[in-house]
Amino acid sequence: MGNIVNSKNTENISRSISDSDDVANENIRVNKDIKTYSLQRQESRKSSASDKEETYLNQKQNAVVFKVEKELTQKQFDDFIAKINTDNKATAFKFEAPLNVKNKSTNTLFKDSFKARSISTLTSVIEKKYKNIKELKLSFPSQSESNQEIDMEPIYSICMMLSSLKQLESLSLNFFQWGYYNSNIKTECLIVLCNAITILSPTLKSLKLDFGRWGCEKYGNLKIYTDATISCFCDMIQSLTQLRSLDINLRSWGYENYKITNQSVIQIFKSVGTLVNLVDLKINLTKWGYLNNNISETSLQDLKQYLVNLQNLKHIYLNFDLWTHLHNYKYIKEALVQLPLLEQCHIDTTEEQNEVKRLYDLINYRKKQYLMSYSLLKSEQGDYFRREILWDALRVCLHDKKQ
Protein backbone atom coordinates (compact mmCIF):
# COMPACT_ATOMS: atom_id res chain seq x y z
CA MET A 1 0.00 0.00 0.00
CA GLY A 2 1.32 3.51 -0.82
CA ASN A 3 4.75 4.94 -0.20
CA ILE A 4 6.34 6.00 3.02
CA VAL A 5 4.80 9.23 4.32
CA ASN A 6 6.72 12.46 3.83
CA SER A 7 7.51 15.16 6.36
CA LYS A 8 4.72 17.51 5.21
CA ASN A 9 1.80 15.19 5.84
CA THR A 10 3.17 13.19 8.75
CA GLU A 11 1.61 15.54 11.30
CA ASN A 12 -1.92 14.90 10.04
CA ILE A 13 -1.85 11.13 9.69
CA SER A 14 -3.97 9.11 12.11
CA ARG A 15 -1.91 7.25 14.69
CA SER A 16 -4.06 4.24 15.43
CA ILE A 17 -4.06 0.55 14.61
CA SER A 18 -6.84 -1.84 13.74
CA ASP A 19 -8.21 -4.77 15.72
CA SER A 20 -6.14 -7.95 15.84
CA ASP A 21 -7.94 -9.51 12.86
CA ASP A 22 -6.31 -6.92 10.58
CA VAL A 23 -2.86 -7.09 12.12
CA ALA A 24 -1.52 -10.36 10.73
CA ASN A 25 -0.18 -8.97 7.45
CA GLU A 26 1.11 -5.61 8.68
CA ASN A 27 4.71 -4.48 8.22
CA ILE A 28 6.77 -1.78 9.82
CA ARG A 29 8.79 0.32 7.41
CA VAL A 30 11.32 2.97 8.22
CA ASN A 31 12.08 6.18 6.40
CA LYS A 32 15.57 6.98 7.67
CA ASP A 33 15.60 10.52 6.27
CA ILE A 34 12.84 11.86 8.51
CA LYS A 35 12.99 9.08 11.11
CA THR A 36 9.32 8.24 10.84
CA TYR A 37 8.11 4.73 11.54
CA SER A 38 5.01 3.93 9.53
CA LEU A 39 2.60 1.08 10.16
CA GLN A 40 1.14 0.00 6.85
CA ARG A 41 -1.74 -2.37 6.39
CA GLN A 42 -1.33 -4.94 3.62
CA GLU A 43 -4.77 -6.17 2.65
CA SER A 44 -5.92 -8.62 0.00
CA ARG A 45 -8.17 -6.08 -1.72
CA LYS A 46 -6.71 -3.59 -4.21
CA SER A 47 -5.62 -0.25 -2.79
CA SER A 48 -7.30 2.93 -3.92
CA ALA A 49 -6.20 6.57 -4.02
CA SER A 50 -8.23 7.27 -0.89
CA ASP A 51 -6.39 4.66 1.19
CA LYS A 52 -4.28 6.18 3.96
CA GLU A 53 -1.33 4.81 5.84
CA GLU A 54 -1.72 4.67 9.59
CA THR A 55 1.32 6.01 11.40
CA TYR A 56 1.67 4.93 14.99
CA LEU A 57 5.13 6.25 15.71
CA ASN A 58 6.84 9.51 14.83
CA GLN A 59 10.43 10.09 15.74
CA LYS A 60 11.51 13.52 14.56
CA GLN A 61 12.38 16.93 15.92
CA ASN A 62 14.03 15.26 18.92
CA ALA A 63 10.82 13.51 19.99
CA VAL A 64 9.56 9.92 20.10
CA VAL A 65 5.77 9.72 19.88
CA PHE A 66 3.86 6.43 19.91
CA LYS A 67 0.07 6.36 20.10
CA VAL A 68 -2.39 3.50 19.75
CA GLU A 69 -6.08 4.02 20.42
CA LYS A 70 -7.19 0.40 20.05
CA GLU A 71 -5.41 -2.90 20.60
CA LEU A 72 -1.61 -3.10 20.55
CA THR A 73 -0.27 -6.61 19.97
CA GLN A 74 2.78 -7.87 21.81
CA LYS A 75 4.59 -8.34 18.48
CA GLN A 76 4.03 -4.71 17.52
CA PHE A 77 5.32 -3.63 20.92
CA ASP A 78 8.44 -5.80 20.52
CA ASP A 79 9.07 -4.32 17.06
CA PHE A 80 8.75 -0.82 18.50
CA ILE A 81 11.24 -1.59 21.28
CA ALA A 82 13.73 -2.93 18.73
CA LYS A 83 13.51 0.31 16.73
CA ILE A 84 14.07 2.68 19.65
CA ASN A 85 16.60 0.69 21.67
CA THR A 86 19.52 2.83 20.54
CA ASP A 87 21.34 5.84 21.94
CA ASN A 88 19.08 8.80 21.29
CA LYS A 89 19.12 12.58 21.64
CA ALA A 90 15.35 12.90 22.01
CA THR A 91 14.13 15.48 24.52
CA ALA A 92 10.53 14.18 24.60
CA PHE A 93 9.15 10.65 24.86
CA LYS A 94 5.41 9.89 24.61
CA PHE A 95 3.89 6.41 24.67
CA GLU A 96 0.14 5.83 24.69
CA ALA A 97 -1.46 2.37 24.52
CA PRO A 98 -4.50 1.00 26.37
CA LEU A 99 -4.44 -2.12 28.53
CA ASN A 100 -7.05 -4.87 28.76
CA VAL A 101 -8.77 -4.15 25.47
CA LYS A 102 -11.81 -6.33 24.83
CA ASN A 103 -12.73 -8.00 21.57
CA LYS A 104 -16.18 -6.58 20.90
CA SER A 105 -17.38 -9.68 19.06
CA THR A 106 -16.58 -12.06 21.93
CA ASN A 107 -16.55 -9.60 24.86
CA THR A 108 -13.29 -11.13 26.06
CA LEU A 109 -9.75 -9.76 26.30
CA PHE A 110 -7.41 -10.18 23.36
CA LYS A 111 -4.92 -12.88 24.31
CA ASP A 112 -1.94 -11.62 22.31
CA SER A 113 -2.22 -7.94 23.26
CA PHE A 114 0.25 -5.70 25.06
CA LYS A 115 0.20 -6.47 28.80
CA ALA A 116 1.13 -4.51 31.93
CA ARG A 117 4.08 -6.83 32.56
CA SER A 118 5.70 -5.51 29.36
CA ILE A 119 5.85 -1.97 30.76
CA SER A 120 9.12 -2.79 32.53
CA THR A 121 10.71 -3.49 29.12
CA LEU A 122 9.78 0.02 27.97
CA THR A 123 10.92 1.73 31.16
CA SER A 124 14.24 -0.09 31.02
CA VAL A 125 14.92 1.29 27.53
CA ILE A 126 13.96 4.82 28.60
CA GLU A 127 16.17 4.55 31.68
CA LYS A 128 19.20 3.48 29.67
CA LYS A 129 18.81 5.30 26.34
CA TYR A 130 16.69 8.39 27.06
CA LYS A 131 18.11 9.81 30.28
CA ASN A 132 18.18 13.38 29.01
CA ILE A 133 14.52 13.78 28.07
CA LYS A 134 12.70 16.81 29.43
CA GLU A 135 9.18 15.60 28.70
CA LEU A 136 7.71 12.16 29.44
CA LYS A 137 4.18 10.93 28.82
CA LEU A 138 3.16 7.35 29.64
CA SER A 139 -0.50 6.50 29.12
CA PHE A 140 -1.74 2.99 29.89
CA PRO A 141 -5.44 3.35 30.78
CA SER A 142 -7.31 0.10 31.38
CA GLN A 143 -10.41 -0.40 29.27
CA SER A 144 -12.13 -3.08 31.36
CA GLU A 145 -12.66 -4.35 34.91
CA SER A 146 -10.30 -7.31 34.34
CA ASN A 147 -7.25 -5.71 35.95
CA GLN A 148 -6.00 -8.39 38.33
CA GLU A 149 -2.84 -8.94 36.27
CA ILE A 150 -1.72 -5.37 37.08
CA ASP A 151 0.41 -5.47 40.22
CA MET A 152 3.41 -3.74 41.79
CA GLU A 153 5.92 -4.76 39.10
CA PRO A 154 5.13 -2.03 36.53
CA ILE A 155 4.91 0.54 39.34
CA TYR A 156 8.38 -0.35 40.60
CA SER A 157 9.86 -0.27 37.09
CA ILE A 158 8.38 3.18 36.45
CA CYS A 159 9.83 4.47 39.73
CA MET A 160 13.29 3.11 38.87
CA MET A 161 13.11 4.84 35.49
CA LEU A 162 12.03 8.18 36.99
CA SER A 163 15.02 8.19 39.33
CA SER A 164 17.34 8.37 36.29
CA LEU A 165 15.62 11.31 34.55
CA LYS A 166 17.51 14.21 36.09
CA GLN A 167 16.37 16.84 33.55
CA LEU A 168 12.65 16.05 33.44
CA GLU A 169 10.43 19.15 33.33
CA SER A 170 7.09 17.65 32.29
CA LEU A 171 5.61 14.34 33.49
CA SER A 172 2.26 12.79 32.54
CA LEU A 173 1.19 9.38 33.90
CA ASN A 174 -2.20 7.93 32.95
CA PHE A 175 -2.97 4.77 34.93
CA PHE A 176 -6.75 5.15 34.80
CA GLN A 177 -8.64 2.15 36.27
CA TRP A 178 -5.51 0.22 37.28
CA GLY A 179 -7.10 -0.25 40.69
CA TYR A 180 -10.62 -0.88 39.37
CA TYR A 181 -11.77 -4.28 40.70
CA ASN A 182 -8.12 -4.80 41.61
CA SER A 183 -6.81 -4.99 45.17
CA ASN A 184 -3.21 -5.40 43.93
CA ILE A 185 -2.84 -1.62 43.61
CA LYS A 186 -2.31 -0.95 47.29
CA THR A 187 -1.27 2.09 49.30
CA GLU A 188 2.34 1.01 48.81
CA CYS A 189 1.97 1.67 45.06
CA LEU A 190 1.08 5.29 45.69
CA ILE A 191 3.82 5.74 48.29
CA VAL A 192 6.64 4.55 46.00
CA LEU A 193 5.28 6.62 43.10
CA CYS A 194 5.09 9.73 45.27
CA ASN A 195 8.64 9.20 46.50
CA ALA A 196 9.91 8.82 42.92
CA ILE A 197 8.12 11.97 41.74
CA THR A 198 9.35 13.95 44.74
CA ILE A 199 12.94 13.36 43.60
CA LEU A 200 12.08 15.29 40.41
CA SER A 201 11.17 18.44 42.36
CA PRO A 202 14.22 20.55 41.34
CA THR A 203 13.27 20.49 37.64
CA LEU A 204 9.60 19.46 37.34
CA LYS A 205 7.30 22.23 36.07
CA SER A 206 4.31 20.26 34.79
CA LEU A 207 2.65 17.21 36.37
CA LYS A 208 -0.40 15.24 35.24
CA LEU A 209 -1.52 12.16 37.17
CA ASP A 210 -4.60 10.12 36.26
CA PHE A 211 -5.24 7.59 39.02
CA GLY A 212 -8.99 7.62 38.52
CA ARG A 213 -11.05 4.68 39.77
CA TRP A 214 -8.37 3.20 41.96
CA GLY A 215 -9.57 1.07 44.87
CA CYS A 216 -13.19 0.83 43.80
CA GLU A 217 -15.76 -1.23 41.93
CA LYS A 218 -18.83 -0.18 39.99
CA TYR A 219 -21.09 -0.38 43.03
CA GLY A 220 -18.69 -0.28 45.94
CA ASN A 221 -15.26 0.55 47.32
CA LEU A 222 -12.39 -1.75 48.27
CA LYS A 223 -11.51 0.70 51.09
CA ILE A 224 -7.79 0.43 50.38
CA TYR A 225 -7.00 4.15 50.59
CA THR A 226 -7.26 6.28 53.71
CA ASP A 227 -6.54 9.79 54.96
CA ALA A 228 -2.97 8.61 55.59
CA THR A 229 -2.65 7.63 51.91
CA ILE A 230 -3.79 11.09 50.83
CA SER A 231 -1.37 12.67 53.30
CA CYS A 232 1.55 10.97 51.52
CA PHE A 233 0.20 12.18 48.17
CA CYS A 234 -0.05 15.75 49.48
CA ASP A 235 3.50 15.71 50.83
CA MET A 236 4.63 14.95 47.29
CA ILE A 237 2.58 17.81 45.82
CA GLN A 238 3.91 20.28 48.37
CA SER A 239 7.51 19.36 47.53
CA LEU A 240 7.11 20.30 43.84
CA THR A 241 7.74 24.00 44.33
CA GLN A 242 8.57 24.72 40.66
CA LEU A 243 5.24 23.48 39.29
CA ARG A 244 3.38 25.75 36.88
CA SER A 245 0.81 23.16 35.81
CA LEU A 246 -0.87 20.49 37.96
CA ASP A 247 -3.58 18.05 36.82
CA ILE A 248 -4.68 15.26 39.18
CA ASN A 249 -7.55 12.79 38.79
CA LEU A 250 -8.47 10.84 41.94
CA ARG A 251 -11.99 10.01 40.79
CA SER A 252 -14.01 7.68 43.06
CA TRP A 253 -11.33 7.24 45.74
CA GLY A 254 -13.73 8.45 48.41
CA TYR A 255 -16.82 6.81 46.90
CA GLU A 256 -18.47 4.80 49.70
CA ASN A 257 -15.15 4.91 51.55
CA TYR A 258 -15.49 6.18 55.12
CA LYS A 259 -11.69 5.95 55.53
CA ILE A 260 -11.33 9.09 53.40
CA THR A 261 -12.77 12.11 55.19
CA ASN A 262 -12.93 15.90 55.10
CA GLN A 263 -9.33 15.89 56.31
CA SER A 264 -8.15 14.52 52.94
CA VAL A 265 -9.93 17.28 51.01
CA ILE A 266 -8.39 19.90 53.30
CA GLN A 267 -4.91 18.40 52.89
CA ILE A 268 -5.18 18.42 49.09
CA PHE A 269 -6.09 22.09 48.85
CA LYS A 270 -3.61 23.12 51.54
CA SER A 271 -0.76 21.43 49.65
CA VAL A 272 -1.85 22.89 46.30
CA GLY A 273 -2.04 26.32 47.91
CA THR A 274 1.71 26.28 48.57
CA LEU A 275 2.54 26.10 44.85
CA VAL A 276 2.87 29.83 44.25
CA ASN A 277 4.05 29.44 40.64
CA LEU A 278 0.94 27.58 39.48
CA VAL A 279 -0.71 28.90 36.32
CA ASP A 280 -2.94 25.91 35.47
CA LEU A 281 -4.74 23.70 38.00
CA LYS A 282 -7.09 20.73 37.55
CA ILE A 283 -8.41 18.60 40.41
CA ASN A 284 -10.94 15.81 39.86
CA LEU A 285 -12.61 14.56 43.05
CA THR A 286 -15.71 13.09 41.40
CA LYS A 287 -17.80 10.90 43.74
CA TRP A 288 -15.65 11.59 46.79
CA GLY A 289 -18.73 12.70 48.68
CA TYR A 290 -21.05 10.04 47.24
CA LEU A 291 -22.35 7.59 49.87
CA ASN A 292 -19.68 8.96 52.21
CA ASN A 293 -20.96 10.97 55.15
CA ASN A 294 -17.39 11.81 56.20
CA ILE A 295 -17.03 14.26 53.30
CA SER A 296 -19.09 17.44 53.20
CA GLU A 297 -18.90 21.13 52.32
CA THR A 298 -17.24 21.71 55.70
CA SER A 299 -13.98 20.63 54.05
CA LEU A 300 -14.18 23.71 51.79
CA GLN A 301 -15.13 26.42 54.27
CA ASP A 302 -11.50 27.63 54.58
CA LEU A 303 -10.69 27.24 50.88
CA LYS A 304 -10.15 31.00 50.53
CA GLN A 305 -7.36 30.82 53.08
CA TYR A 306 -5.75 27.77 51.44
CA LEU A 307 -5.61 29.27 47.93
CA VAL A 308 -4.77 32.89 48.75
CA ASN A 309 -1.15 32.52 47.58
CA LEU A 310 -2.03 31.29 44.07
CA GLN A 311 -1.64 34.80 42.68
CA ASN A 312 -0.35 33.57 39.30
CA LEU A 313 -3.21 31.16 38.62
CA LYS A 314 -4.96 31.74 35.28
CA HIS A 315 -6.92 28.53 34.67
CA ILE A 316 -8.69 26.25 37.13
CA TYR A 317 -10.91 23.17 36.83
CA LEU A 318 -12.48 21.56 39.91
CA ASN A 319 -14.77 18.53 39.86
CA PHE A 320 -17.06 17.97 42.86
CA ASP A 321 -19.66 15.99 40.93
CA LEU A 322 -21.88 13.62 42.95
CA TRP A 323 -21.00 15.00 46.38
CA THR A 324 -24.08 14.22 48.46
CA HIS A 325 -23.39 16.80 51.17
CA LEU A 326 -22.22 19.74 49.07
CA HIS A 327 -24.97 22.29 48.52
CA ASN A 328 -23.40 25.71 49.12
CA TYR A 329 -20.68 26.81 46.73
CA LYS A 330 -20.05 30.21 48.27
CA TYR A 331 -16.74 28.99 49.75
CA ILE A 332 -15.47 28.12 46.28
CA LYS A 333 -16.62 31.46 44.90
CA GLU A 334 -14.91 33.40 47.70
CA ALA A 335 -11.68 31.43 47.21
CA LEU A 336 -11.45 31.98 43.47
CA VAL A 337 -12.67 35.55 43.17
CA GLN A 338 -9.64 36.70 45.18
CA LEU A 339 -7.22 35.46 42.48
CA PRO A 340 -6.39 38.51 40.33
CA LEU A 341 -5.18 36.79 37.14
CA LEU A 342 -7.84 34.08 36.88
CA GLU A 343 -9.15 33.97 33.30
CA GLN A 344 -10.80 30.57 32.95
CA CYS A 345 -12.77 28.70 35.57
CA HIS A 346 -14.84 25.52 35.39
CA ILE A 347 -16.54 23.84 38.34
CA ASP A 348 -18.28 20.50 37.77
CA THR A 349 -21.29 20.00 40.05
CA THR A 350 -24.23 17.64 40.25
CA GLU A 351 -26.70 20.47 39.80
CA GLU A 352 -26.39 24.00 38.48
CA GLN A 353 -25.41 26.35 41.31
CA ASN A 354 -26.14 30.08 41.40
CA GLU A 355 -22.89 30.80 43.23
CA VAL A 356 -20.91 29.06 40.48
CA LYS A 357 -22.79 30.94 37.77
CA ARG A 358 -22.11 34.26 39.48
CA LEU A 359 -18.44 33.32 39.73
CA TYR A 360 -18.29 32.63 35.98
CA ASP A 361 -19.99 35.96 35.25
CA LEU A 362 -17.62 37.85 37.53
CA ILE A 363 -14.48 36.30 36.02
CA ASN A 364 -15.70 36.96 32.47
CA TYR A 365 -16.54 40.57 33.37
CA ARG A 366 -13.15 41.12 34.97
CA LYS A 367 -11.37 39.62 31.97
CA LYS A 368 -13.23 41.99 29.66
CA GLN A 369 -12.20 44.90 31.89
CA TYR A 370 -8.54 43.91 31.59
CA LEU A 371 -8.80 43.60 27.82
CA MET A 372 -10.55 46.95 27.55
CA SER A 373 -7.93 48.65 29.71
CA TYR A 374 -5.14 47.13 27.65
CA SER A 375 -6.80 48.23 24.41
CA LEU A 376 -7.25 51.78 25.66
CA LEU A 377 -3.66 51.94 26.86
CA LYS A 378 -2.52 51.14 23.32
CA SER A 379 -4.84 53.66 21.74
CA GLU A 380 -3.95 57.16 20.54
CA GLN A 381 -5.46 58.92 23.56
CA GLY A 382 -3.53 61.60 25.46
CA ASP A 383 -0.85 60.73 27.99
CA TYR A 384 -2.98 61.92 30.91
CA PHE A 385 -5.93 59.74 29.88
CA ARG A 386 -3.70 56.69 29.49
CA ARG A 387 -2.12 57.19 32.91
CA GLU A 388 -5.59 57.32 34.48
CA ILE A 389 -6.57 54.01 32.91
CA LEU A 390 -3.27 52.48 33.97
CA TRP A 391 -3.90 53.53 37.56
CA ASP A 392 -7.37 51.93 37.50
CA ALA A 393 -5.90 48.69 36.18
CA LEU A 394 -3.22 48.69 38.88
CA ARG A 395 -5.83 49.21 41.60
CA VAL A 396 -7.65 46.08 40.46
CA CYS A 397 -4.41 44.11 40.47
CA LEU A 398 -3.62 45.33 43.99
CA HIS A 399 -7.11 44.32 45.19
CA ASP A 400 -8.07 47.88 46.12
CA LYS A 401 -11.82 47.67 46.73
CA LYS A 402 -12.29 51.44 46.77
CA GLN A 403 -13.87 52.86 43.63
Summarised one tens digit per residue, pLDDT across range 349-379 is 877 777 787 788 878 777 766 666 656 666 6
Q: Any idea which of 34-48, 255-269, 307-321, 389-403 has the lowest mean pLDDT? A: 34-48
- What is the span of the domain harbouring residue 118? 10-397
Band the pLDDT of 262: cuts 50, 70, 90. very high
**CB-CB contact of 172 with 208 (8 Å):** yes
pLDDT in tens, 64-97: 999 998 899 999 999 999 999 987 889 999 999 9
Structural domain count, the chain: 1
Examine residue 4 and state whether it is found in any structural domain, yes or no: no
- Rounded mean pLDDT of 150-179? 97
Residues 6 or more apart whose CB falls under 8 angstroms from that of 42 comprise 1, 25, 26, 27
Examine residue 92 and state whether it is found in any structural domain, yes or no: yes
Examine residue 44 and state whether it is found in any structural domain, yes or no: yes
Q: What is the pLDDT of residue 108?
A: 85
Q: What 3-state class would DSSP assign to 92? A: strand
Examine residue 1 and state whether it is found in any structural domain, yes or no: no
Examine residue 3 and state whether it is found in any structural domain, yes or no: no
CATH number for position 108: 3.80.10.10
Q: What is the pLDDT of residue 25?
A: 33
Examine residue 171 and state whether it is found in any structural domain, yes or no: yes
Cα 116 to Cα 72, 97, 99, 298, distances in angstroms: 12, 10, 7, 40
Examine residue 283 and state whether it is found in any structural domain, yes or no: yes
Examine residue 5 and state whether it is found in any structural domain, yes or no: no
In this model, does residue 40 exceed pLDDT 80?
A: no
What is the secondary structure of 101-120 as a DSSP string? Answer: PEETTTTEE-TTB--GGGHH
pTM score: 0.80
